[in-house]
Amino acid sequence: MQDKSYLMIPGPTPVPPSVVAAMTAPMFGHRSEDFQAMHKEIIGKLQKLFQTQNEIYVLTSSGTGGMESAVANTVSPGDKVLTLVGGKFGERWSELANQYGAEVIELNYEWGTCVDPQAVQEQLAANPDIKVVFATQNETSTGVTNDIEALGKIVAQTPALFVVDGVSGVGGIEIKVDEWNVDILTTGSQKSLMLPPGLAIQSISDKAWKKIEENKSPRYYFSLLKARKQYPKWNTAYTPAVSLFVGLNAALDMILNEGLDNVYARHKLMRDATRAAIRALGLNLMTDDAYASPVVTSVYAPEGIGADDIRKVLKQEYNITFAGGQAKLKNKILRIAHMGFADKMDIIIAVSGLEMALQKVGYPVELGAGVKAAQQVFLGVLG
């Protein structure tokens, strides 16, 4: 019998059967009326998810391609920008901005903590010529969710644009683009949106368009000005990943049919159950409850045991895949994703597998303690 596999990493994530089925539909032309009608429908659904009236562009690229598009279209050589760095993907904003010749001011904060809005306000006051502020909604490398609403309110009081990486969060964590003053929100298909990799999605504000129109950086494939020319006809500037568009349409139906409030509550419940289980096993969480991500939980490996050793047992013995740490966190943490097509029993399987793996690597664990704690959260029972 072929082993069942349990993918618990923060992207790619499991794709629902209904989405897989949708993507097996016969291919059709990307310049056809069928595609145009579907494209228009998708944008309407994305506007509900993003909570925006802005134009939204679906690019055929990875999430990082979406981030590069945001930089390439807003940063001219010599522009001063502020990047908020508390993990690997905050660092990516800095790396991209440097590639496009920006003068980068990094606001660094400890990995595993959230950005302090007051510190952002102070940087903007000290540098009134900052053109763009780059933030991360959900720092996947640490399991931290930043306060985009608070940050947006601060940046909106300045001429600077507020650009947000929502690659792992959108679809699992609430975002209100218009109300929270997000000028560009960019996300990717393979995380909370429950699709294979290959799409980046961006909303663009009127304030951002002014900057884009003045931008001096060279760009071709990622030119949003070229994309905008095709937008009224519901076409794309270049050949789109048609099957992924079909899948996106189906995935958005799932999200909207469940109801956004229910989607966000489900993710928070899975987070709370996972964190209760980790505490019951005597392991240390990387983040405080106040800013713990609803879509991924980061856990320190026990003292003297490598996180990758635990992950190896989980994969080889139980076919459960957790993510490891990145950069300075390599072999120090486990990352348990609970995003997109995930529910209560996924958490029970993940925790029970972790308990057995911990025992196999020599960590003293009371079997069932973590599972019980998770069950109590799901049942609304106090431990």
Binding residues: 335
DSSP string computed for 124-139: HHH-TTEEEEEEESEE
Among residues 206, 137, 216, the alpha carbon closest in space to that of 169 is found at 137
CA-to-CA separations, 199 to 92, 100, 187, 242, in angstroms, rounded: 18, 22, 8, 10
Task: Tell me the one-letter amino acid at 105.
Answer: I
Whole-angstrom CA distances from 45 to 185, 204, 314 are 15, 16, 38
CA distance 328 to 108: 15
> Where do we find the tokens 């940063």?
75
Helices (H), the chain: 17-23, 33-50, 63-72, 88-99, 117-126, 148-155, 206-214, 224-230, 242-258, 260-280, 307-318, 344-360, 369-379
Q: What is the DSSP letter of 58?
A: E
Location of structure tokens 């596999």: 5
Nearest to 86 by CA among 336, 338, 296, 326: 326
Which residues have C-beta within 8 Å of that of residue 17, sequence separation ≥ 6?
none
Dist. CA 329–CA 144, nearest whole Å? 14
Cβ 272 vs Cβ 377: under 8 Å: yes
Query: Residues within the annotated binding site for substrate?
Result: 335
Residue type, 292: A
- The residues, ordered by sequence, that sit 6+ positions from 367 with a Cβ below 8 Å of its Cβ are 355, 356, 359
Distance, CA of 244 to CA of 205 (rounded, Å) = 25
